[in-house]
Chains A and B, each alone.
Chain A
């Protein structure tokens, strides 16, 4: 009988995340992918600024903590220095889609052979729930107390769609982890994003639509439902770019 074990690539440190937050699930999926590919010893992770700033405490591989938004640039440096190693970033929406958007787009446009795990929960969690570039229209946050207003605060950025317009990236996909089936799909996407790097295929990004029960002001259960009812209609799941599939179709 199979036993449910902690992945080898996670340390014994207790997550600091809020109850019901999906960071824990995604951390586990990343660790499982690293374990299954047998790359733990040559993987280097880059943590962002945001709720997952202390991700360096949770993965057993070598880790770097980067300045806010700069993880793709830091990862670029690491990858250029150690091209045979596996380099991933783990970033939230404020980090990746706002302050670090330039680094994100540029690393993707270069086709940098790195793996990016992008947690999109439509809010700045660590600083107490401010509006993110991905916050939905009407979403109430500390800095959009009357709901995000398109006329003055613009429209939420769809990162996967945006990056899929670039020529260089290998794999861009959006997944979520709000039920078992979706978790399994997310796992497959994350593993593929690492596998791509192992095979030298270039830039892979997995956008994980996530929750924030604390700052959304909901129970964990309600927040997972809210992903279905509010997040996914604006952020549809799916593969936005996959050079493997394109190559297959082209024959």
Chain B
């Protein structure tokens, strides 16, 4: 069962989704996530599933909305500019309380940007990717193994809380190959889905999937209820990894591929006698506030390492109540920092 296979990150997502019982995939070609669609195009017809290359990112997310309305596991994948196009649909999923998985294998922006790895959709993903008051559950894998594990977990959480999940990866993770132990098969159905549209069968009153509330009082009430759910999520669902934090005087904070690079820098710094550790958010929404809050009383400073202009810095400062300085080690536009660059900021 626990056999290791060598896979690309994008393929691991696709296979993990299939193992998680997802039988409906809708997408539109965009680099650097095309392996997901290619994998689904090959596999889905053989397992009675749906692979459909939609006419646009917008159509793809609305096809997702259609399947999600029927209470089945469904996903789409894209990369940054394509995710921007999906935002309207993601907002509708959130407004109608529908679970679904959206994979974002990020590339550089803004605009058409580039096709090299990036984490510059951090704000978009963590603050609510679309119009209106809402969040999506947001997972940031740092290895091919986590690409697989978090895919299964993201489906599960989406159903538990009836909301969209986003897997926030990047071009490097999508393209790189690593050994991976694929997750055990699972499926939807653990949580109540009596809300789904499956036909009344003339046995019940009709179900309605909807996000329109013309009464402001009703809409306000629903938004407040949704945010109560979010408070529960903030308590129960943050995931993170702490590395060499016990005696750390400096705390690197990094997720995704930059956490891998930072780990090398932390190891090198330790060899040189510098007491540095790392907190790696695995969920970026909900943000792992607690470990950072705790660290704020012990360390002298934080270092935010990201592939963007430092979008996570605000979240770190909020978590630590600005008690300690937060330095940036950032590359953007598709550039990656070397471990030496991170080490230089650690040694500053």
Contacts and interface: CB of A to CB of B under 8 A. Distances in A.
A42 B62 contact: no
B199 A62 contact: yes
A54 interface: yes
B235 interface: no
B197 A44 contact: yes
Given A53-B212, A59-B206, A62-B206, A81 B200 contact: no
A41 B66 contact: no
B208 A65 contact: yes
Interface string A27-62: 000000000000011111010000001101101111
A106 B54 CA distance: 8
A74 B69 contact: yes
Contacts of B66: 46, 64, 73-81
A198 interface: no
Nearest to B69: A64
A56 B69 CA distance: 14
A64 B95 CA distance: 12
Given A61-B199, A102-B55, A74 B208 contact: no
B186 interface: no
Nearest to A77: B66
Given A54-B212, A64-B209, A80-B24, A103 B62 contact: yes
B62 A66 contact: yes
Interface string A63-89: 111110010011111111110010000
A70 B197 contact: no
A140 to B, nearest CB: 29
Nearest to B98: A64
Contacts of A102: 55-56, 58-59
Interface string B197-233: 1111111001111111000000000000000000000
B202 A65 contact: no
Contacts of A66: 62, 65, 92
A106 B55 contact: yes
Contact of B62 (A56, A73, A79): A73
Nearest to B197: A62
B63 A62 contact: no
| Best-surrounded residue of B67, B69, B88, B201 (most CB of chain A within 10 A) | B69
| Best-surrounded residue of A43, A76, A85 (most CB of chain B within 10 A) | A76
**Contact-residue bracket for chain A:** 35 or more
A44 B199 contact: yes
Contact of A77 (B56, B65, B200, B211): B65
Contacts of A103: 55, 58-59, 62
Contacts of B211: 65
Nearest to A87: B66
Interface in A105-142: 105-106
Given A65-B209, A82-B70, A74 B200 contact: no
A62 B50 contact: no
Interface in B52-96: 52, 54-56, 58-60, 62-70, 72, 74, 88-89, 92, 96
B197 A74 contact: no
A236 B63 CA distance: 33
B122 interface: no
Contact of B199 (A65, A76, A82, A106): A82
B285 interface: no
Contacts of B55: 102-103, 105-106
B59 A42 contact: no
B220 to A, nearest CB: 19
Contacts of B68: 77
A57 B74 CA distance: 27
A40 B206 CA distance: 10
A99 B66 CA distance: 18
B155 interface: no
Contact of B63 (A59, A74, A82): A74
A73 B212 CA distance: 19
A79 B63 CA distance: 10
Contacts of B212: 53-54, 65
Contacts of B202: 40-41
| Best-surrounded residue of A41, A75, A77, A105 (most CB of chain B within 10 A) | A77
Contacts of B206: 11, 59-63
A80 B70 CA distance: 10
B255 interface: no
Contacts of B58: 70, 73, 102-103
Contacts of A11: 206
A12 to B, nearest CB: 12
25 contacts: A40-B200, A41-B201, A61-B200, A62-B199, A62-B200, A62-B206, A62-B208, A63-B207, A63-B209, A65-B209, A65-B212, A70-B59, A70-B65, A73-B54, A74-B66, A76-B63, A77-B24, A77-B74, A78-B69, A81-B24, A81-B66, A81-B67, A82-B70, A82-B198, A102-B55
Given A56-B210, A62-B207, 14 more contacts: A65-B208, A67-B92, A73-B54, A73-B59, A77-B67, A78-B66, A78-B70, A80-B50, A80-B67, A81-B72, A81-B74, A82-B198, A102-B56, A103-B55
Interface of A: 11, 40-44, 46, 53-54, 56-57, 59-67, 70, 73-82, 85, 102-103, 105-106
Shortest Cβ-Cβ A-B pairs, 10 listed: A77-B66, A73-B62, A62-B197, A106-B55, A77-B63, A41-B202, A70-B62, A42-B199, A73-B59, A74-B66
